[in-house]
Amino acid sequence: NAGVTQTPKFRVLKTGQSMTLLCAQDMNHEYMYWYRQDPGMGLRLIHYSVGEGTTAKGEVPDGYNVSRLKKQNFLLGLESAAPSQTSVYFCASSYSRVEQYFGPGTRLTVT
């Protein structure tokens, strides 16, 4: 099993550009999450999903949108990137509300 995979691994955007980060899991997990990690801030939850077709806001949702059209995929969109969105983005999935499995991360730089 590949576990949780993230695409792309690195990306550089100019301010105002848009992009979509893809997260895929092959563990048949119901729950999926998007986090951002910034130095000194720990992990902050952006959006999450408790099942196919559902999404919910986390701690820092502004400037991001998500979709969960298929159970195995969770997409994170930036419609108009800003320098404040420079961060490392992690996707995670879980079977229930306990142990989360994390992807390797996407390093995004917005100039």
Residues at the interface with other proteins (CB under 8 A): 4, 33, 35, 40-45, 48, 58-59, 90, 92, 97-105
Looking at beta carbons only, is 1 or 42 nearer to other proteins?
42
CB closer to other proteins out of 62 and 99? 99
Closest CB to other proteins among 33 and 85?
33
The least CB distance from residue 101 to other proteins, in Å, is: 7
Distance CA 35, CA 46 (A): 5
Shortest Cβ 16–other proteins spacing (Å)? 28
Q: Minimum distance between the CB of residue 88 and other proteins, rounded to whole angstroms?
A: 9
Please enumerate in sequence order all residues whose Cβ is within 8 A of that of 99, keeping only pairs 6 or more positions apart, or say none. none
In the complex with other proteins, the residue whose CB is nearer, 41 or 82, is 41
| CA pair distance 31, 20, nearest whole angstrom | 19
What is the distance in angstroms between the CA of the first residue and the CA of the last residue of the chain?
36
Distance (Å, rounded) from C-alpha 48 to C-alpha 68? 9
- C-alpha span between 21 and 74 (Å, rounded): 9
- Minimum Å distance from CB 10 to other proteins? 11
